[in-house]
Amino acid sequence: MTDSDKAAWQEDARRDLLRNAGDRLALIVRGEGAHVWDDEGRRYLDFLAGVAVNSLGHAHPVFVEAVSRQAATLTPISNYFATPPQLALAARLKRLAGTGPSGRVYFGNSGAEANEAAFKLARLHGQATGGGSPRPRILALREAFHGRTMGTLALTGKSSMREPFLPMVPGVEFIDSSVEALEAALDDRVAALFVEPIKGEAGVVPLPDRYLTAARELTARHGALLIIDEIQTGAGRTGEWFAFQHAGITPDAVTVAKGIGGGFPIGALITFGAASELFYPGTHGSTFGGNALGTAVADAVLGEIENAGLVANAARRGIQARDAIAGIGSPLVAGTRGAGLLIGIALSAPVAKELAAAAQERGLIINPANESTIRIAPALTVGDAEIAEFIDLFTAALQDVAAATMKETA
């Protein structure tokens, strides 16, 4: 393919796609395992996996078989009916999240939809427990990300993202991610606290130690729901099925999406205990939510994560990758953050964009989560070969950026 062909797809994208995102980085045409290929036949090691989406890697036989089998069996049939895959996935999610028999599941098609449902759950709880005047307040954390729809944007703790779309859905207040801030903000007029256990979009920033334990105690004391957004951290990514399980707590609700579908769009709200009683017929729904195709694929993907021991693999490979990153010994790497295979690489200079571009030139996909953090979130299937390839390519990209920086300062 010539440069003019390359310019052609970029022109098409600039002309035909709404400008809600910047220029696309490449035209990706195919994926297999941990690799993808662009229209020019260039191979990339994909250490972002659709931002924590392709849990089994690309075109995994279990994923392909589940899509094909279910497409040939039954696709959406409306929410007037139940289907076996929907019931199987709900039961599996309840078991993996540890809800016990009183748990329930609502299905949507994305992370934002899962969080929208959680927002409505918070309002229903506020109505049900406000004693005649609904609890009006919802707490969320500064810098946390919960989605781009109007409800989830209102929950998102980045004012620059909210400002173009003011006015927001009312009632949400942002607090710092400290136990002291939570203690100071909580009262009996708070319906819910939303948290992201590791702030992925903000640069893979974990909550402070014991935050979730304290949040559980404090929200329970004030009768507020504790709602945990596991859209990026769920499905085994952090080395537990859900990141909240590292803290050994029981939340009131958890939202999941991304990795549970392994590449098929699906999201879910999982409720625990009394929170499972709040929705009643007519209060929420979605045409495609819980459809037979999406739920069959997610059930197969989660089944494969279980059968192949990929949660333990995420824990082990995460440590291996972080050790290997430290072992590069680059002065540009200041350290790593995160858990399992959700890793933030802190840089000693604000060169994340340049580094991601250099990596792409070398055939490696990584993500500049902010100006001085690289985020990696590879498939949970990665092993020695993929980590070795990552380290080779990342080392080369670091050297490219270091050399360019030296040239600039010379």
User: Whole-angstrom Cα distance, residue 349 to residue 406?
Assistant: 13
Q: Of residues 38, 46, 116, 196, which one binds ligand PLP by CB under 6 A?
A: 196
Q: Binding of ligand PLP at residue 112 (CB under 6 A)?
A: yes
The helix/strand/coil state of 240 is coil
Q: Of residues 126, 157, 171, 200, which one binds ligand PLP by CB under 6 A?
A: 200
Q: Catalytic site residue 244?
A: no
Q: Binding of ligand PLP at residue 262 (CB under 6 A)?
A: no
User: Whole-angstrom Cα distance, residue 187 to residue 131?
Assistant: 14
Q: Of residues 103, 111, 259, 263, which one binds ligand PLP by CB under 6 A?
A: 111
Plot region of 258 (φ>0 → left; ψ -120 to 50 → alpha; else → beta): left
> Pick the catalytic residue: 47, 119, 145, 194?
145
Q: Catalytic site residue 94?
A: no
Q: Binding of ligand PLP at residue 386 (CB under 6 A)?
A: no
* Window 132-171: contact mask with ligand PLP (x via CB under 6 A): -------------xxx------------------------
As a whole number of Å, the end-to-end CA separation of the chain is 37
Q: Binding of ligand PLP at residue 115 (CB under 6 A)?
A: yes
Q: Catalytic site residue 229?
A: yes
Tokens encoding 205: 């920033």
Q: Of residues 38, 116, 229, 354, which one binds ligand PLP by CB under 6 A?
A: 229
Residues in the interface with ligand PLP (CB under 6 A) total: 15
Q: Nearest residue to ligand PLP, using CB?
A: 111
The helix/strand/coil state of 287 is coil
The helix/strand/coil state of 43 is strand
Which runs of E-coded beta strand occur in 109-262? 137-141, 172-175, 190-195, 198-199, 205-206, 225-229, 253-256
Q: Binding of ligand PLP at residue 231 (CB under 6 A)?
A: yes
- How many Cα atoms occupy the beta-carbon half-sphere of 82 within 13 Å? 7
Please report, as ranges, the residues that interact with ligand PLP according to CB under 6 A: 51, 110-112, 115, 145-147, 196, 200-201, 229, 231-232, 257
The residues annotated with a catalytic role in the active site are 145, 229, 258
